Every structure is written in C-alpha cells, then in structure tokens.
Amino acid sequence: MDKLVIDGGRKLYGKLLAQSAKNSVLPLLAASILTDERVTIFDVPAISDVSCMAQILRELGAEVNFSGGDVVIDSAKATEHRISSALTRELRSSVFMLGSLLTRFRRAACAYPGGCEIGLRPIDLHLNALKRMGARIEEREGYILCSCDVLKGAEIALDFPSVGATENILLAAVKADGTTRIEGAAKEPEIVDLQQFLNAMGAKIEGAGTDTIAIEGVERLRGIEYRPMKDRIEAGTYLLACAVCGGEVEVEGVRPDCLGLLLHKLRENGCKIHTKNDKIRLASGGRLKCNRKIETMPFPGFPTDLQAQATALNASAEGCARIVENLFETRYKYVPELRKMGADIEVDGRNAFVRGVARLHGASVTCGDLRGGAALVIAALGAEGVSDVLDLSHLDRGYAGLSENLKSLGANIRRVRV
C-alpha cells in the first residue's frame, strides 16, 4: 500500500500534456469486442481501470496486449458472454459490456457494476433501453442476465441524459436490425469520441454531441487503429491545482470548449486564463475569491467529476461558496477529510456550504473515491505543512503518473510505500 507525502505551499510552473481520457478509453475498449478483427488504441493511460477492463476482455476470450502506451485487442476467438463478479464489482464501466456482448453473442451476464461509492447510480435507463431493442432481462442473485434473438432498432427517450446509458445504447444499436433513435441523449465529448470510433469501424451514427442520436444498424464492423480524445477531467484537475497553489501552468491536448464552465469559474476566482487551439494556460497569484455558486449538471454544465476539486479550491479562498451536486447523492464523502485540514464546510443533502479559511494545514487524510482523492491532493498542495494522502487505489483508477506530473511542475510530493 502506498501513500503520497506532500509538503504544501509551493507554486506550480510548467507544461503538461493531458493523458487520453479515461471516460473515453473504457467504452472504446468495450466496443472492441464488436469486431473479430484487430483493434489498436493508441496512448492508453496506465491506470487501474484500464487494466481491469483489459482483464474483462481476456476473460471473454480476447487477446489483449500492451505495447508501450498502446493496446492491441484481437477478439476473434472470444466466445464467453459472462463477466466475473470480482471484475464487474471493481469497475463500473463493465456495464458497457452489456450492449457489446448482446451485439456479439446475443447473451450477456454480469454482476451489478461497482467503481467509486458516490451514490446509487441505478442502471434502469440501460436495462429499459435494451428491453426496447428486444432484449430479455432477468435479475437473479445479484446478476443481470440478458439475452435476445435479435436486437432491433427502436425509438428510445431517456428521462435523464445519462452518459453510460447513451454509450450502452450505441454499442447495442450499432449492428441492430433497423434504425435506433435516442432522444435526450447525453452530449459529453466522450460520446462524440465513441461515435467517431464506431464510425471508423464502419458504423453509421449521426448526432453525437446533440440531444438526438440516430444509429443505422450495419452488418459488420472492421478493425481499426484509433487515438482517443484527451482527458478534460485530468486537465481540469491540474488547472485547479495551479489555481490553489499559485504559479502558471499550461495543459495541452484539451479543447477549451470541453471545459468552458470550469474556465469561467476559475476566472471568477481571479485566475488569468489564455487559450489557443488545444492549449489552456492558467496563471494564479494571491488569494483567490470564492465562487458564489457551483452547480453540477450534464455537459455542457459544470462536470460532477470536477466538483470535489473545485470545492477544495473554495475551501481556502476568500468568501463563501455554495456547491450543489445534482448527479450523485453521496459525492461529499471527502468533506470530513478536508475538515481535518481546517476546511469549514457544512453539507446539507446535495448542498455543501463552504466558508473559505485563510489557509488549510497539513494532515493525514484518506481517499474515499477517485475525484474526492484528487481534491485532497489539491488541498494538500496548497496547505501549510506536510500531508499524508492514504489509499491511492482510488487515484490510480483515473490518474496516470499523478505524483510525477505534479513534481515536474515544482510540487514537493513523493509516493512512498507504507
């Protein structure tokens, strides 16, 4: 077991290239099972969620090989339709395999998905959509059992623009009989990336990035080589770290429009931001001002995956902030850990009320989930004194080389074995 030891108070300077997006790579890996030809995905981040998805594909019978930062998937010999409960419960994105497996094998079985404990995250939208397309679904002893004679195109209206449900429908509809139309689809950039990936394989999909997506089923998909989009959440995390610490940092690879509302909020804090093409440069000096209100919403709203990091910023800014978490009901589990560092935060349901303090102080804190863990790292970087950040398994799910990247910017941070 490792921990991060962070001596806070150092300003950050330098440049970073964002890694490929975790939230894009995982559904792309799930989509690779849709063809029996070889698929190569470039620049895959070395994170544990990717390793877990690769192991799921291997259990299905696919060959998965890593070469440098690339991964090659050959699922020609894949025959298994069941995902072990151990892997399913470890990785929420395993739910994407339902659509892929139904498309490939007409059967699918997996336990209820896991991942970070940030709320119930029911998958009713996924299952109801698959039923609309002709799937038979049983829920027995903690397992979801799906089967179909044939998947058929359908009109599907989502009550909520769920990213996971939208992606699962795409994977189920891409070879279905007829045309599928999704109304109320999620509009996240990762949806657009999945459409581009599938269309490069020979799919016929239009409308990703809008409320309405149309998928015309095709008979077969081919193997491809593909480079995923960069990680806007990782980029936002480093920008928030620089804002808290002070200094000047440039992150390359992410279009500014993918982080539009975050950049607006950072300007509201008092940061100076310059953007050009896929480069975002942030300069921060002096004590920041609190945001009046941050409310998480589906894209293009403020990302729930950056809520905790933004709360850490406001904890040591001047004034008071109200944070509203609309997507996940228990995403404030990190708040007691921030309080150990001197943060003044009260949680009431989906609201967190932050009263900024002059400065946080070092403490021993424990990560309870991926983004909450990133918030603790940001808080420790800006705090006075030394902090120990424990249980890095959550951070390793989504950030490759976190301590090395921060050290390259000038942070006093090291990863040590406990």
pLDDT of residue 115: 41
Strand order in the sheet with 212-216: 155-157, 179-183, 212-216, 204-206
Considering only CA atoms, which of 189, 196, 407 is closest in space to residue 299?
189
Question: Cα separation of 74 and 87, whole Å?
Answer: 20
- Residue extent(s) of CATH 3.65.10.10 domains in the chain: 2-19+230-417, 22-226
Amino acid in the structure at residue 163: V
How far is residue 392's CA from residue 377's CA, in Å, rounded to a whole number? 11
Q: Which residues of the chain have pLDDT under 70?
A: 92-93, 113-122
Active site residues: 116
Using DSSP, state whether 238 is helix, strand or coil.
helix
- Rounded to an integer, what distance in angstroms lies between the CA atom of residue 242 and that of residue 315? 15
Which residues, including other chains, have CB under 8 Å from residue 297's CB and lie 6 or more apart? 326, 327
Question: Is the Cα torsion angle 220, 28, 44, 257 positive or negative in sign?
Answer: positive
CATH topology of domain 22-226: UDP-n-acetylglucosamine1-carboxyvinyl-transferase; Chain (3.65.10)
φ and ψ of 84, to 5 deg = -60, 150
Please report the pLDDT score of residue 116 as a whole number.
40
Q: Locate tokens 């080589």: which residue?
A: 225
Q: What SS3 class is residue 274?
A: strand
Domain 2-19+230-417 has CATH 1.10.10.10: no
Q: What is the pTM of this model?
A: 0.95
Residue whose structure tokens are 């877990």: 52
